[in-house]
Amino acid sequence: MKAIRIHEFGGPEVMLMEEVPIPEPASDAVLVKTYASGVNIADCGIRKGGNAILRPLLKLPLTLGWDASGIVDKVGDQVTAFKKGDEVFGVPTFPGDGSYAEYFVAKESHLALKPNAISFNEAAGVPLAGVTAWNGVIEYGKLQPGQKILIHGAAGGVGSLAVQIAKAKGAYVIGTASVNNLEFLKDLGADEAIDYKTQRVEEMLKDIDLVFDASPIRDNNIRLKFVQILKNGGRLVSSQLDFPYSEEVKTALSAKNVEGSLVRLQNYACLREMAELIDAGKIKVVISKVYPLEQAGEAHKENEAGHVRGKLILEIIKE
Ligand SMILES: NC(=O)c1ccc[n+]([C@@H]2O[C@H](COP(=O)([O-])OP(=O)(O)OC[C@H]3O[C@@H](n4cnc5c(N)ncnc54)[C@H](OP(=O)(O)O)[C@@H]3O)[C@@H](O)[C@H]2O)c1
């Protein structure tokens, strides 16, 4: 099968299209014929060698891509939830070879049946960003109906899904983006949209129940502003797992009795709940561009420029 692999860490040029054997699923895993793969900023980070936590787990050569949709080709002995021919979406086994390839393997627990209402390309834009958004807003954020949430970086892959998940849960949603994306946030259902470049959240907001930072920018100074706008006993959840809170942020959190957390992906069962919300028309998937598999390098360059609206997709099979 064809796959985009890296043999060394580095820039987009280290990604090579190669011919490799089709993988075999383990007993608790599923082999999926890939229709589309999502591109995530995390893929770019892994291409560059990851961080101190990830680096020891990354074995070369490696096929990139941890976000995909496709059709089940083969299931392991212990798999009961899926059978050959099922249309699925989910997160390929990590660390291990990913979905920039004609087939990928995923644990049964990291897959769900694809929503009927959307295409394979759209479905490939949901899993990793959606599981991150769901875990951030619902599992760590414990968002309740009627509460006020600020989502920072609301126009990106994680942010655009977080806005819609929070709305579907009955929250009052405020999102930040640059000026070109403010209308887009309103279209997603945000009640308010703030331009993070020209407006200051700390002068506009107070008594917020939950701040979810879904931006790709690592910045402890803006976290201090988030603590300022949170109510006493509120929650600050950051998607940036590799960027711990500074001592200054920790002091500010405890002075205000705010719980601060970094999102770990612990609940993948939410893929099923997101599929239901998608089929009910409550979540739409925004694809900004579809690239053919061989242009994965171009997709990485666009993602790393930092302003993708929604998702970038690699199309492996045209529907
Ligand atoms: N914890 C996990 O397991 C996990 C999993 C996946 C991702 N993540 C993390 O989640 C974060 C978001 O990932 P993603 O895939 O959604 O990224 P992304 O799609 O590449 O994010 C792009 C968005 O970021 C916004 N942005 C750019 N600069 C900004 C700034 N200075 N302030 C606020 N927003 C800004 C852009 O909005 P404008 O164009 O409007 O500026 C753009 O829409 C990343 O840090 C990623 O590492 C974590």
* Residue among 22, 20, 15, 207 nearest 105 (CA): 22
* Burial zone of 24 (CB within 10 Å; 0-12 exposed, 13-18 middle, 19+ buried): exposed
Question: Ligand 1 in contact with 46 (CB < 6 A)?
Answer: no
Per-chain mean pLDDT for the chain: 97
- Whether residue 76 is found in the same domain as residue 169: no
pLDDT above 90 coverage of the chain, percent: 96
Q: Tell me how far apart the 2 most distant CA atoms of the chain are, in Å.
A: 58
User: Is 267 part of any domain?
Assistant: no
* Model confidence pLDDT, tens digit, residues 221-278: 999 999 999 999 999 999 999 899 999 999 999 999 999 999 999 889 999 999 999 9
Nearest CA to ligand 1 atom 44: 216
Q: How far is the CA of 192 from the centre of ligand 1 (A)?
A: 19
Question: Ligand 1 in contact with 50 (CB < 6 A)?
Answer: no
Q: How far is the CA of 82 from the centre of ligand 1 (A)?
A: 32
Alpha carbon distance 64, 137 (integer Å): 27
- Whether residue 166 is found in the same domain as residue 121: no
User: Is 144 part of any domain?
Assistant: yes
Name the domain count of the chain.
Answer: 2
pLDDT over 90 (residue 51): no
Nearest CA to ligand 1 atom 36: 307
User: Is 10 part of any domain?
Assistant: yes
- Whether residue 150 is found in the same domain as residue 239: yes
**Per-residue pLDDT band at 211 (split at 50, 70, 90):** very high
For tokens 């993602």, name the residue.
303
From 39, 41, 180, mutation site for ligand 1 pocket: most ligand atoms within 8 A of C-beta: 41
pLDDT over 90 (residue 319): no
From 307, 309, 312, 313, mutation site for ligand 1 pocket: most ligand atoms within 8 A of C-beta: 307
CATH code of the domain in which 216 resides: 3.40.50.720
Q: How far is the CA of 269 from the centre of ligand 1 (A)?
A: 23
CATH code of the domain in which 18 resides: 3.90.180.10
Q: How far is the CA of 41 from the centre of ligand 1 (A)?
A: 8
Domain extent at residue 293: 2-126+285-315
User: Is 234 part of any domain?
Assistant: yes
User: Is 181 part of any domain?
Assistant: yes
Q: How far is the CA of 109 from the centre of ligand 1 (A)?
A: 26
**One-letter amino acid for residue 163 of the chain:** V
- Whether residue 82 is found in the same domain as residue 145: no
* Model confidence pLDDT, tens digit, residues 90-115: 999 998 999 999 999 999 999 999 99
Question: Ligand 1 in contact with 225 (CB < 6 A)?
Answer: no
Question: Ligand 1 in contact with 217 (CB < 6 A)?
Answer: yes
Structure tokens that stand for 116 in this block: 């009927």
Question: Ligand 1 in contact with 41 (CB < 6 A)?
Answer: yes
User: Is 272 part of any domain?
Assistant: no
The sign of the dihedral angle between the CA atoms of 160, 164, 167, 169 is negative
> Which residues, at least 6 apart from 166, have a Cβ–Cβ distance to it below 8 Å?
137, 143, 149, 151, 173, 212
Q: How far is the CA of 84 from the centre of ligand 1 (A)?
A: 35
> Which residues, at least 6 apart from 41, have a Cβ–Cβ distance to it below 8 Å?
157, 216, 303, 304
User: Is 268 part of any domain?
Assistant: no
- Whether residue 30 is found in the same domain as residue 93: yes
- Whether residue 250 is found in the same domain as residue 303: no
Q: How far is the CA of 27 from the centre of ligand 1 (A)?
A: 35
- Whether residue 138 is found in the same domain as residue 113: no
* Model confidence pLDDT, tens digit, residues 118-163: 999 999 999 999 999 999 999 999 999 999 999 999 999 999 999 9
State the alpha helices, DSSP H only, in the chain. 41-47, 120-123, 127-134, 157-168, 182-188, 201-204, 220-229, 247-255, 270-279, 296-304
Q: How far is the CA of 131 from the centre of ligand 1 (A)?
A: 14
- Whether residue 42 is found in the same domain as residue 151: no
- Whether residue 182 is found in the same domain as residue 258: yes
Alpha carbon distance 69, 38 (integer Å): 9
User: Is 278 part of any domain?
Assistant: no
- Whether residue 92 is found in the same domain as residue 147: no
Alpha carbon distance 129, 244 (integer Å): 20
Question: Ligand 1 in contact with 238 (CB < 6 A)?
Answer: no
Q: Contact 31/23 with Cβ under 8 angstroms?
A: yes
Residue 79 DSSP SS3: coil
- Whether residue 231 is found in the same domain as residue 301: no
- Whether residue 101 is found in the same domain as residue 143: no
